[in-house]
Amino acid sequence: MSDMLDTRNSWLSGDELAAARERLPMVYIDAVPVRVDQHGQITAVGLLLRALPDGSISRAVVSGRVQYGERIRDALVRHLEKDLGSVALPRIPASPQPFTVVEYFPDPEVTGFHDPRQHAVAMAFIVPCAGDCSPSQDALDLVWLSPQEITSIDFELEMSGGQGKLVRMALAHCGLLP
């Protein structure tokens, strides 16, 4: 179609994004990176270490906005490569289906998922990664933890904004809550 709009450069400036965040829910993806064995069972979950806007540091899954005109699959690949590196080799199915949808609110009491900047709706995916992963862009570190380790109180306390709850939901979805 020759009359289609080119949306690749249709991103918001910082001021426009701030104004939109005050008025609209933003669409996000959350991706829980995992390692699987030859039978497809989760052996490890990847957590990033990030600096938050308030200056604190927290563990988190891969997360980011879906751009206007961007397919969900493409957003997943873009954010996984941005945070885990270009050789992470995420295995995303031809038709990705989220294991859940979460809503982040400025008020942490609404759903237990908290983002002080905005109301965001995130489709959450479990994504096996077969390649070498290393933290990149804003990620300070990446650790791989067993399902038992990641659900310990120590790591639960290192996650904020509901990220610990999201990881537990992912493990429960796969029948792996210890």
Domain range annotation of the chain: 23-173
CATH number of 23-173: 3.90.79.10
According to DSSP, residue 159 is labeled B
Residue 65 CB coordination number (10 Å): 19
22/70 Cα distance (integer angstroms): 22
Task: State residue 63's pLDDT score.
Answer: 95
Residue type, 26: M
As a whole number of Å, the CA-based R_g of the chain is 16
Best CA proximity match to 72, nearest among 45, 94, 102: 94
Q: What are the pLDDT digits (tens) for 24-75?
A: 889 999 999 999 999 999 999 999 999 877 788 999 999 999 998 999 999 9
Task: State residue 2's pLDDT score.
Answer: 43
Burial (Cβ within 10 Å: 0-12, 13-18, ≥19) of residue 96: middle
Task: State residue 165's pLDDT score.
Answer: 94
Q: What are the pLDDT digits (tens) for 73-120?
A: 999 999 999 999 999 999 998 899 999 999 999 999 999 999 998 999
Q: Has residue 166 got a pLDDT over 90?
A: yes
